[in-house]
Structure 1
Amino acid sequence: MKAACRGWGMVEFLIAIALGLLVTLLGSGLLIASGSNFRNHSDNAWLGDGGRYALQVMAQAIRQGAYSNWDSELAPPAFTPSVDGLDAASISRSTDGISKPLPPVANGSDVLALRFSGSGVGANGDGSVVNCGGFGVAGEARGWSIFYVGADAGGEPELRCKYRSASGWGGDAIVRGVDSFQVLYGIDTDTPADGVPNTYLNATAVRALDAWARVCSVKLALLLHGERNTRADTVDMRFDLFGAAYSEAHGGDQGVRVVEGSLPPAQRLRARRMFSMTVALRNRDG
């Protein structure tokens, strides 16, 4: 007698569907997690490249700051100080220098302005001295390299370089995704001056002491974020751009401490990276 052939029953069929859905769900979760990890890794790589490039551009401008062209007929004492700045402010691309501050962008980010002598004749000099935009500065002029944070057309904060070329004032973006850009100035308080900073102050304190001519180094700190929420963790991190001790002692200095919990929810779980550097001026004023 031949055995009867049997197919799947309803219960078996439902169990098979449930197991298939479970496997699909697990696979989808792994795929989503893998994609998120890839985007987070990509954002971190971009942050590393962008942050290093921004510091390189600013460091070059700072080292060039206070450069005096002794072949020029203009004597250095006739110049204004080579370093200037603003706390918790922004500026326009088209206004003269930093003469017209605007409300701050990105957690009270600062403004750093550097001036230096040019070299050569003609509209762009001999090309040996350039501003942060890459334009040459002539010997009879004084160049500007100004760094500040502004918002692009989509509202994303970006670090910009402002300069004056032969055609007028202009500005270019250096890196996007700025949470905070902070600057401290190393002041040489010794008499006679020895070119070594004794204390670091923000722009407001330097201006109150009328000590711009005594600035001999600049301390930079930059906090950048990625384009989207890609972190798997949900921990609210804290970033002290000049260290926790400075943040605790200078609570009124906006932007030196950034806490993710105070940011909009759409920004809290983005990849973040902090960059810092201290750069000495090649020359001193006065």
Structure 2
Amino acid sequence: MFLNRTTMHTPIPPSKRAPARAGGFSLVELMVAIAIGLIIMAGMTTLFVNNSAAQAEIEKVNRQIENGRYAMSTLTNDLRNAGFLGEYSPAALATPLALPDPCAVTEAALVAALPLHVQGVDSVGSASLGCITDAMPGTDAIVVRHARTCVLGAANCGGVDDPGPFFQASLCNNKLELDSGDAGDHYALAIAKTAMTRTRKDCLTTAVVRRYLVHIYYVANNGVGSDGIPTLKRAELEATDGGALEFNVVPLVEGIENLQLQYGIDNALPADGVADSYSASPATAQGWRDVVSVKISLLARNLQASPGYKAGKTYTLGADVNGNDIVVTKADGYKRHVFQAVASMANPVGRRMP
């Protein structure tokens, strides 16, 4: 069989082939790609902004919760020590005829108020407490009195040169101290350490000395200066370098906006250390002496407002002197939370138990 050479295909050498058409994006394709990229970037930006805002809100709430818990812990821990006087029991002391002035700063005033381990001020007004000028009107204040649980000079209990006032319980059964007919000889409460002359059981060795504490807890309108941040503060009684007593105010917790208190009163006969009723303000000194527990209601708020959060919310903070609920409504853009607890005071409870 013969092939026709004229019909056969002769391959073209690579060097002589026509160049391939150049590839790439058209202008329309490029614009579509840019538009899609911008949409994705806008979505990612929105997601990032929303996540950042959500994280900021979470941080605000976390700080609010931490502040509320710390404020409650500070109050309850101090109240648990209320009435602690070392080895001394104030049962033999006479109840004051009139309520002591919580801001009085004389030794005589301290001695007169010694039987009252707590004392409150219901709905603080402009003239309620002379030693406090920045209390938020309508909130409560509470005075807590006790000796420190550690003795002066012990580790982590302050130095021997720390300012007073000081408390010392006698353990000596002689005619000059515990066997004396005067209850004032059973202890020493004074500004100067040189007045701490009570002795131990051997009636020779000086008894241990403790720092005597008077704390006034209250809610202030501002934390520092006029920053507008409601703050839980504590006025602490201390002796100055000149030997006089004064209250120094210490900011404790930011964002605490309201404090309401009810006092559990043991008015059973005989006393049993159990609260039989609660009152926002016992009317007499004896009523305050019978307090064995405290219901605490704290309202904590964020330090910064939350954008777009305007919903009015109602908060119930215990009851007033008439037994009616204390209701607070807020709609100013700040998120809030109510913290409540009951603090039992072991020292007055233990002395009243049969």
Asked if TM exceeds 0.5, the reply is yes
Q: Distance between the aligned counterparts of 1:220 and 1:227, measured in 2?
A: 22
2:48 pairs, out of 31, 36, 57, with 31
Which residue in the other structure is 2:194 paired with?
A: none
Which residue in the other structure is 1:7 paired with?
A: 26
Measured on the aligned residues, the alpha-carbon RMSD in Å equals: 4.1
Which residue in the other structure is 1:88 paired with?
A: 123
Q: Percent identity?
A: 21
Asked which structure has the greater RCO (Cα within 8 Å, sep 6+), the reply is 1
Which residue in the other structure is 2:292 paired with?
A: 216
Which residue in the other structure is 1:111 paired with?
A: 141
User: What amino acid maps onto 2:123 in structure 1?
Assistant: A
2:221 corresponds to 1:147: no
1:194 pairs, out of 253, 258, 272, with 272
Which residue in the other structure is 1:138 paired with?
A: 166
Q: Deviations over 1:111-162 (max 9, x none)?
A: 0111124689xxx94569989xx98752124420111111122121110111
Q: Distance between the aligned counterparts of 2:134 and 2:164, measured in 1?
A: 31
Distance 1:216 1:91, change over 3 A: farther
Give the superposition deviation at 1:226: 1.9
Q: Give the match's secondary structure for 2:58.
A: helix
Gaps of 5+ in 1: none
Gaps of 5+ in 2: 1-17, 95-110, 168-188, 191-211, 241-245
Which residue in the other structure is 1:45 paired with?
A: 62
Q: Give the match's secondary structure for 2:166.
A: coil
Which residue in the other structure is 2:317 paired with?
A: 241
Distance 1:230 1:23, change over 3 A: farther
Q: 2:68, 2:256 within 8 Å by CA — same for their partners in 1? A: no
**Greater Cα shift, 29-38 or 83-92:** 83-92
Q: 1:89, 1:103 within 8 Å by CA — same for their partners in 2? A: no
User: What amino acid maps onto 1:260 in structure 2?
Assistant: K
1:275 pairs, out of 309, 328, 339, with 339
Distance 1:129 1:250, change over 3 A: farther
Aligned length: 259
Which residue in the other structure is 1:250 paired with?
A: 324
Give the superposition deviation at 1:89: 1.8
User: What amino acid maps onto 2:329 in structure 1?
Assistant: V
Q: Give the match's secondary structure for 2:312.
A: coil
Q: 2:316, 2:327 within 8 Å by CA — same for their partners in 1? A: yes
Q: 1:47, 1:224 within 8 Å by CA — same for their partners in 2? A: yes
User: What amino acid maps onto 1:38 in structure 2?
Assistant: Q
Q: Distance between the aligned counterparts of 2:347 and 2:90, measured in 1?
A: 19
User: What amino acid maps onto 2:122 in structure 1?
Assistant: D
Q: Distance between the aligned counterparts of 1:42 and 1:273, measured in 2?
A: 15
Q: Give the match's secondary structure for 2:44.
A: helix
User: What amino acid maps onto 1:54 in structure 2?
Assistant: A
